[in-house]
Amino acid sequence: MAESTGSYTVLARRYRPQTFDEVVGQQHVAQALKNAILCNRVAHAYLFTGARGVGKTSTARILAKALNCPEAVEGNPCNECHLCSAISEGNDIDVMEIDGASNRGIDDIRSLRANVGIRSMRTRIKMYIIDEVHMLTKEAFNALLKTLEEPPPNVKFVFCTTEPQKVPDTILSRCQRFDFASIETQVIAQRLKDIAGLEGVDVTNDAIDLVARRAGGSMRDSQSLFDQLLAFGSSRIEASDVNRLLGTADDDRLLKILTLIHQKQQGPLLEEINEAVSDGVQLGNLIDQLVNCYRDLMILRCGADSVDLIGVSSLQRETFAELGKQMGLETITAAMQILSEAKMRLSRVSHGRALIDLAVIRISQLENLESLSNLIADLKSSETGVITLSGTTAPAGLLTTNPRVTPALASQSPPAAPVSHSPPVADKNLTPQSGSENQKKKN
């Protein structure tokens, strides 16, 4: 375990990557920046975009160290000199990290422009790292344009944002953009295993896999959850500890709930939901887990066998594949829509328990929508106009226009209209008259 000190440094900071080779899940960005340094083709402005906790600010710091480290080797900083140490700790005067949310006005950008021309005091390159740059005002962006287009030769800008669509096109066109992808679950799990070994903690693979799936592609979120888990204090951490700590349901409980929904056993289903809530499962977490489970059923029903499961462990893949075949794709998607609607309403009402009970009961009342769709398709594509339903023959048009018709009524043919075989008789009153006859009548 880590030594006990007066101030504890969280895992996300202690195990932050310090070189391009240590950046996890963003090899394309790390390789491009290393090559730019080695070829002396470093741009004056970069835009790093991506979800939270995927390495944007960490990569910006590594870039600042690599550009200024006197002992850099193949584009990687040494992390031993005083410059690398100061930049890693965020204390270097020439590498300034600015929070775009709290320094978003035009006056802040004016101050930045006034200091850009001042020569760096310690480093070769002065760098400005603006985090959450999309929070700047329109006037602040406009004030930054000229400086960003033609900065001094020893100044570099790195903009980090989670919402690149809010950055003006005039800024985007002046930057080289790198999109940081969400980190795969297996990569996060492997990193957590390495951290557990360095911390000397015994954590089961199921527990690590659960934390990695819970992180949703964010390395920082996974390390924060793992830090909370290590503080739990057990000598051996298992998946049950993770579920109890995070307020989530285990895989067996989720599978049981899905099975009860499919079997339409509404009484036992509500009892299982009640037991889950009594065991500390949070309503919002339970809905999220059920949505992810139906997502897993959907991808397995579609045949995407190589896609990772996010709702349950990969050990449940075969069981979920069989359950997905029984449910049908349209029923699964309808269930996801019902749960998503309940999740959106959950934060706005005080009767959350009633919402989730209503949602699962509505899902259990769904018929096999795929079979109904096939029946409708058969009715529409029937060439003979007759469809067979439970051993009874009925006209397709009759079933289509009147869905309440019973098989007994459907089997009865409509009465035929009487047919006359005599030739038509002309009506004298309707026979057209010639012009001469009309003249005689007038006379």
61 & 115 share domain:
yes
Does residue 429 fall inside a structural domain? Answer: no
Has residue 235 been placed in a domain? yes
CATH of residue 209's domain is 1.10.8.60
Around Cβ 274, how many Cβ atoms within 10 Å?
12
Q: Residue 236: which pLDDT band, with cuts at 50, 70 and 90?
A: confident
Tell me, yes or no, whether 438 lies in a domain: no
| pLDDT value at residue 382 | 67
pLDDT band per the 50, 70, 90 thresholds, residue 430: very low
Percent pLDDT > 90 in the chain is 62
Judge contact between 288 and 312, C-beta under 8 A.
no
DSSP 72-88: -BTTB--S-SHHHHHHH
Is the pLDDT assigned to residue 416 strictly greater than 70?
no
The reported pLDDT for the residue numbered 411 is 43
- What pLDDT is attached to residue 390? 46
Name the pLDDT band for 405 (thresholds 50, 70, 90): very low
> Hey, is 49 helix, strand or coil?
strand
For 56-65, what is each residue's pLDDT tens digit?
999 999 999 9
Q: Is 262 a member of any domain?
A: yes
Residues 85 and 146 in one domain: yes
Q: Is residue 161 part of a domain?
A: yes
Give mean pLDDT, residues 112-119.
88
Which structural domain, as residue segments, surrounds residue 275? 251-366
Torsion sign across C-alpha atoms 69, 70, 73, 78 = negative
Question: Residues 167-191: pLDDT tens digits?
Answer: 999 999 999 999 999 999 999 999 9
The reply to whether 411 falls in a domain is no
Q: What is the pLDDT of residue 370?
A: 61
- Residues in the chain, how many? 443
CB 238 within 8 A of CB 206: yes
What pLDDT score does 387 carry? Answer: 52
Dihedral sign of CA atoms 165, 171, 173, 176 in order: negative
Q: What pLDDT score was predicted for residue 431?
A: 46
Q: What pLDDT is attached to residue 391?
A: 47
Q: Is position 281 within any domain? A: yes
Domain membership flag for residue 423 = no
